[in-house]
Structure 1
Amino acid sequence: QNHIKGKERIAGIEKELEEKNSIYENWAKLNELFGSQTGAKFKEIAQGYTLDVLLLYANRHLQDLAPRYELQRIPDTLALQIVDLDMMGEVRSVHSLSGGESFLVSLALALGLSSLSSNRMNVESLFIDEGFGSLDMDTLRIAMDALERLQMQGRKIGVISHVAEMMERIPAQVQVVKTGSGRSKVQVMGPI
């Protein structure tokens, strides 16, 4: 009789151990995916997901700005690389881009970020400070065309620039003009 009770007790303990192991395995899987004291694994997964969505939006804008290129994430990192579609899909570092190409890619990322944010909140304004001075005339035209399309979609675009050619394309301007002796005056030009 003690022998039977002992077997029943052992069977109960084995069943409980099996249940505990199952629970442990579930926690171990979660820990593998997300666990760390700082939450770094989970943060990296969340950042990777957000970056992938951002790249979807940025690549839509990049098709208009520089259809030759596509951005992609380097696998298992949060770093970016560029796919050169004119070179049969050659993948290379974003650091290999020229100044003008880098500007267009950065603009596509900024516009992608604006699109990403507009899904959660209404982002109506975009301000760009400089960067246009490094562009050749064709690249400047492409960038300005993209900004004009955004304006036609109802976005307000503010540009800070010293590039004279841009003044011809931007009807509403706030100009800061030097008057001498370390002073400047503000002029409002065109329809506001």
Structure 2
Amino acid sequence: MAAHRDNTTALAEAELWSTVADRCNGRMPPRVSLQRWVLSAYLEEICTFANRRLGSMTGGRYRLSVHRDREWGGGKAGLGLRVYDVYTGREREVSTLSGGETFQASLSLALGVADVVASHAGGVRLDALFVDEGFGTLDSEALQLAMDELDRLREGGRTVGLISHVGGLRERIRTGIEVCPTDRGSTVSVGSVSPV
């Protein structure tokens, strides 16, 4: 009788730990592992910071959110992103954004990551930001809004480096490194950037 009771207790405990393991490994609904659940909490925080900038760059049109439902195949369970479009009043996949809108969302997320890192590192700031290309996908108004956001970062004391072939940026950039191709190789000029 005592052996049966001990066996029943051990079996109940084993089932409990098996359930905990299954839940932590994402083998139970909603099929999101503990690791992905924690990452999605960070992603939500990143989206909160990113949305402030994305709102500025898109005139308030878009807002990012974490999509916690299980994705097809489960590969990104809990870590999907969606975009809410104020114009249509609907949420949609981020893959439906245009090239320029994708750049704006990506830049906003990168800046959101920097903000979250600073908030979790006891106020340690990332003082430099380098953006490589992407500006060519923006129309002139979106380009101005993106540059306004980058200027606000600069005014806040951050160093912002841009790598771009977009001539329209010359009006907003005072100092830079310009690489010019010639028939004998490229030349490099450092200093003031003159408008086109």
Deviation of the 1:158 alpha carbon: 0.4
Deviation of the 1:81 alpha carbon: 1.6
TM-score by length of 1: 0.80
Deviation of the 1:141 alpha carbon: 0.5
How much is the aligned-residue C-alpha RMSD, in angstroms?
2.3
Partner in structure 1 of residue 81 of structure 2? 80
Q: Structure 2: how far apart are the matches of 1:138 and 1:28?
A: 56
Partner in structure 1 of residue 37 of structure 2? 45
Deviation of the 1:14 alpha carbon: 5.2
Partner in structure 1 of residue 107 of structure 2? 107
Q: Structure 2: how far apart are the matches of 1:99 and 1:181?
A: 35
Deviation of the 1:137 alpha carbon: 0.9
Greater mean alpha carbon deviation, residues 137-146 or residues 120-129: 120-129
Identity %: 32
Partner in structure 1 of residue 146 of structure 2? 143
Aligned length: 176
> 1:32-84: per-residue Cα shift (whole Å, max 9, x none)?
22248xxx933322332222222222112212112111112223232222111
Three-state SS of the structure 1 residue aligned to 2:84 is strand
Q: What does 1:1-192 align with in structure 2 at a 5 Å threshold?
A: 10=1, 12-13=2-3, 15-17=5-7, 19-35=9-25, 41-66=33-58, 67-76=60-69, 77=77, 78-88=79-89, 90-119=90-119, 120=121, 121-189=124-192
TM-score by length of 2: 0.78
Where do 5+ consecutive residues of structure 2 fail to align? 27-31, 70-76
Three-state SS of the structure 2 residue aligned to 1:116 is helix
Q: Counterpart amino acid of 2:92?
A: R
> Structure 1: which 4+ aligned runs deviate by more than 3 Å?
12-19
Greater mean alpha carbon deviation, residues 48-57 or residues 59-68: 48-57
- The structure number with the bigger radius of gyration is 1
Partner in structure 2 of residue 3 of structure 1? none
Q: Structure 1: how far apart are the matches of 2:156 and 2:6?
A: 63
Would the aligned equivalents of 1:179 and 1:185 in 2 still touch at CA under 8 Å? no
Q: Counterpart amino acid of 2:112?
A: G
Structure 1 or 2: larger helix share? 1
Change (3 A) 1:84 1:26: same
Q: Counterpart amino acid of 2:63?
A: E
Would the aligned equivalents of 2:179 and 2:186 in 1 still touch at CA under 8 Å? no
Q: Structure 1: how far apart are the matches of 2:96 and 2:108?
A: 17
Would the aligned equivalents of 2:114 and 2:125 in 1 still touch at CA under 8 Å? no
Q: Structure 2: how far apart are the matches of 1:146 and 1:122?
A: 17
Deviation of the 1:19 alpha carbon: 4.1
